[in-house]
Amino acid sequence: MGFTVSLFFEAVDFIFGIVFVLSYIQCLSAILVALISEKETKTRELLKILGVPDVAIVGSWYITYGVVLFVASLVQAGVASAVLFNHSSVVLLFLFFWLFSCSLLAYSYMVSAVFSKAKVGAYLGVIGFLLMYVVSTAFTNESTAASKVLASLLSPVALVFGVNNLAASETNGVGITFDNVNESIKSYKFSTALVLLLVDSVVYTVLGLYLERVVPK
């Protein structure tokens, strides 16, 4: 069974990252449409007229979608643990998926600050997301740790590197656990992916707040 699993991960290694990235496209598009539609329909402006501050509006989005993504990440971690990453810690899997989901939400907010048309914003936001993934394809097992950390400021890249670490550790029949989360695999630590996804969420949120103020309405 272990040999079969190893062959599976070796066979799908070159497409594993893009499969996970593509699995989030529909979620990304839906969030982008929802956020930008509030601008398009002037709902956000009405809330501001009624005295609701920007922080409260953005906070309500993060709480609402954060809860939904939290539950979705729990389910995703459970399924991934049962089907794909049998040897890895389900807690670390959950943190990985949830932190990426948070970065996805923050990215959506950042993009929504630039566009006022939902369809256009969603379309270009998804394209931007996929272009961020493309950056990960430029890296090899010999790429330096520093370059991979820098590239992980693009959250899809951190997702791909993290998934690659999971696949590599499962191939060895070990998995990612709290005992080896700080061990380097292919010049990258799984813990680095977790930290960088959190950093990405903060950076994208700050950029979104900035763009809200400087981009013409």
Q: How confident is the model over 117-127, as pLDDT tens digits? A: 989 999 999 99
pTM for this model (two decimals): 0.90
DSSP β-bridge partners for residue 184: 189
Give the other-Cβ count within 10 Å of 108's Cβ.
28
- 111, 121 Cβ separation under 8 angstroms: yes
- Residue 163 in this model has a pLDDT that exceeds 80: yes
> Both tokens of residue 93?
């899997």
CA dihedral (55, 62, 212, 27) in degrees, to 10, reads -170
Please give the average per-residue pLDDT across 85-101, as a whole number. Answer: 95
Please tell me what DSSP assigns to residue 154. S
Q: Which of 49-58, 113-122, 146-155 holds the top average pLDDT?
A: 146-155
> What is the per-residue pLDDT for 11?
52
Short-list 115, 190, 204, CA closest to 155: 204
Mean pLDDT of all residues belonging to the chain: 88
Please tell me what DSSP assigns to residue 200. H
Burial of 73 (0-12, 13-18, 19+ CB in 10 A): buried
> Both tokens of residue 51?
């005295």
For the four alpha carbons of 45, 207, 18 and 130, in that order, the dihedral sign comes to positive
> Both tokens of residue 88?
């890895």
> What is the per-residue pLDDT for 141?
80
- Residue 2 in this model has a pLDDT that exceeds 80: no
- Write the pLDDT tens digit of every residue in 137-147: 999 888 899 99
**What is the identity of the amino acid at 185?**
I
> What is the per-residue pLDDT for 84?
84
Please give the average per-residue pLDDT across 148-169, as a whole number. Answer: 94
> What is the per-residue pLDDT for 77?
96
Is the pLDDT higher at 8 or at 85?
85
Residue 7: which pLDDT band, with cuts at 50, 70 and 90?
low
For 83, residues 6+ apart whose C-beta sits below 8 A from its C-beta are none
